[in-house]
Structure formats: structure tokens, C-alpha cells
Amino acid sequence: ITVPTIIKDVYRPQTFPKVAWISFVIVAVVYFAITVAGYLAFGDGLSKYDTMVEAFTPPNRADWTIYSWLINASTVVLVGTHFLVLFSPTAQLSDTLLKLDDKSRWKSPAVGEVVRCTCRVGLVALCALIALLVPSVDKLVNLLSAVFVVLIALVYPTVYYWRVLQLSRVKQAAWKTWLQRSLLVVAAAAMVF
């Protein structure tokens, strides 16, 4: 979802593959370390809870520990940053559709930036209104996420990659093709279940 945004905004696009790999490795190491530390500290005792937040933040605030407060604070930071990252492609698309990035359209660059920021604030307000006013919007978001995240993360990149290879008349190794086909089978199964 965010790769086009990153590629568009990166200072030197040719360094993107290296930066992406380094980022993925760092994220994987951090998540693995947290997983191992959590399991060593709490074992299977956490399996009776639906989420980690429920496990560490009891309903009665008097029972909260310093860990409860830290987990809640980190959850707010996580949700806020995820919203910004996932919102960025939509904001850039609206900028393009409304021709807000056309510098010659405005008397000064400052006016263009004010209009662009105002439109983005409007988009955030629209998201907030939908979240607050539409009943059971969380179930709809979960359903859409379950279907479209698999498509966006697994199916589309593979199919687009095949199309680029076809247009470039490039042959790839048979094992790569079978690996990609296997990935599509896994994606199809993930979309069903």
C-alpha cells in the first residue's frame, strides 16, 4: 500500500530496494525479539486473551501497572502512525485529482500548501465521521481488509510483475515462476478463509 508513496517521495529512488530490505530486516528482528521476550516472560498465560491490550490493561484502572500505561501509550502511537502511513496514498491521490500539486495554479506556494492541508484535514474529518456515525463500521473495515489486503499485498504485485516481464520479453527461472504461482495459491486460500 505504501510502496508507491515511498518510491515517489524518496530522494534517490535507485536506493529503494536496499532501504526496503534493511527496513524489513529491522522490523522482523524487532518483532521477533518482542515475541520471544513476551513468550519467555508470560508463556501460554496470554492465550486466554483476545489481544495483548486486554491482557495488560484490566478493565479497572486501579489495577493498572506501569506496563498497562506504557502499552496504552504505545498503542495510541502505533494506531496514529499507521493511520498516517495508510492515509498518505489517499491524500496524494486526492491532491492529484484536485490538481493541488500544480504550482502554477496558485498565486504563491504558501496558498497552495494551505489549500492542500485544508483538503487533507477534510479527508481526516470525513474518515472520523464515517468511523463515528456508521454503525458497525469496524466489521465492514475488517471484511474489506480481509479481502483487499491479501489482494494488494500478494496478488497484485505478483500479477503486475508477470505483466512487466511479459512486456519486457524477459524470461525467468522456472523455480521462480512456481514459487510465484504457489504464492498466488496461498493468497487465494487466504482470501477464502
Q: Is residue 45 a part of any domain in this protein?
A: no
Q: How far, in Å, CA of 85 to CA of 2, rounded?
A: 7
For 85-108, the pLDDT digits (tens) are 778 778 888 888 888 777 778 788
Task: Assess whether 76 and 91 both reside in one domain.
Answer: yes
Based on the structure, what is the number of domains in the chain?
2
Predicted pLDDT of residue 9: 65
Q: Is residue 6 a part of any domain in this protein?
A: no
Q: How far, in Å, CA of 168 to CA of 161, rounded?
A: 11
For 1-25, the pLDDT digits (tens) are 556 666 666 777 777 788 878 888 9
State whether residue 143 is helix, strand or coil: helix
Q: Quick check: 6 and 23 in contact, CB under 8 A?
A: no
Task: Assess whether 119 and 151 both reside in one domain.
Answer: no
Q: Using alpha carbons, select from 61, 114, 66, 123 the residue that is nearest to residue 92.
A: 123
Burial of 100 (0-12, 13-18, 19+ CB in 10 A): buried
For 126-177, the pLDDT digits (tens) are 988 988 888 888 788 788 777 777 777 777 888 888 888 888 888 888 898 8
Which amino acid would we find at residue 11?
A: Y
Grid-cell match 497484485, residue found: 156
Asked if the model's pLDDT at residue 27 lies above 60, the reply is yes
Among residues 118, 133, 148, the one where a domain terminates is: 133
Among residues 133, 151, 177, the one where a domain terminates is: 133
Task: Assess whether 70 and 126 both reside in one domain.
Answer: yes
Domain extent, residue 175, equals 138-193
Q: Is residue 161 a part of any domain in this protein?
A: yes
Which DSSP string do the residues of 23-83 spell out, in sequence order? Answer: HHHHHHHHHHHHHHHHHHHHGGGGGGSSSHHHHHS-SSGGG--HHHHHHHHHHHHHHHHHH
Helices 174-192, 137-150: axis angle to 10 degrees equals 160
Predicted pLDDT of residue 121: 92
Q: Using alpha carbons, select from 82, 81, 80, 123 the residue that is nearest to residue 100.
A: 123
For 176-193, the pLDDT digits (tens) are 889 888 888 887 787 776
Mean pLDDT for the stretch of residues 46-63: 78
Among residues 85, 115, 133, the one where a domain terminates is: 133
Buried b (16+ CB within 10 A) or exposed e, 163-174: eeeeeeeeeeee
